Amino acid sequence: MSAEPDSATLLTLAGQGDKAALSALYRRYERPVYRFILSKLNDPHEAADILQDVFMDVWRSASRFEGRSKVQTWIFGIAWRKTIDAHRKRGRMATTGDEMPEIEDENVNTEACVLAGQEAEHVHHCLGELSEDHRTAVRLAFLEDMSYRAIAEVLEAAEGTIKTRVFHAKKLLLRCLQGRVQRGADA
């Protein structure tokens, strides 16, 4: 059995009008891209519409892909811009979450964090406590396994901004997870 072509090859073929290559790209990225859009909009129908627009854009723009980034990054970048447009149309722009109150730099109990990090309920709760920008960066890092350079490209932000954003998000998450365990133990 022959291995499936890599994404860059598929995108090149799609740029030449090969719909089967677009189908293969769709099947490869549809779920994570939809998940990313849905996490920002929280509306499955609108997210499905934007997903459709994203892949129509992929079809129209494939021949202009220059290979300077990974295909995953390029497609997520399209999804990000369309999602931001949808936010604007709704009149609720994403707020920037980079301003953050100083947290005391106290050590966290990492054993407690490991335990809490294994519990979906705790992780979901603590992710929900983050600002939208922090949560988006963490989701791209941990769900989509993107490098900080790729996240910066998708979100059209500086690499240093993304590293700082993930750093703060990580501190808040660990503190939250530790608190969940401590409260559970105290109860």
Partner 1 sequence: MTEQERREIEELLPFLANGTLEGDEKTRVEDALQNDASLAGELAALIAMRDTMKAEEGTESPGEFGHARLMRALEKKTPVQTAPAAAAPQTSRPIFWQIAAGVLCAALLGQAVWNSGADEGDYILAGGGEAALTVTFNPDATEDQIRNLLLDAGVEIVGGPSALGLYELAPLEDVSLDEAASVLEDNSEILESIDRVEE
Binding site for partner 1 (CB under 8 A): 2, 4-5, 9-10, 13, 16-24, 26-27, 30-31, 34-35, 38, 48, 51-52, 55-56, 59, 107-108, 110-111, 113-114, 117-120, 123-124, 127, 138-139, 141-143, 145-148, 150, 163-164, 166-167, 170, 173-174, 177
17 or 67, CB closer to partner 1?
A: 17
Closest to partner 1 by CB, 94 or 159: 159
Dist. CA 65–CA 71, nearest whole Å: 9
Please give the full DSSP string across 60-84, using - where no structure is assigned. HHGGG--SSS-HHHHHHHHHHHHHH
Give the closest residue to 61 by CA, choosing from 8, 13, 15.
Answer: 15
- Check if the beta carbon of residue 38 is closer than 8 Å to that of residue 44: yes
Q: Nearer to partner 1 by C-beta: 57 or 87?
A: 57
Q: How far is the CB of 126 from partner 1 (least distance, A)?
A: 8
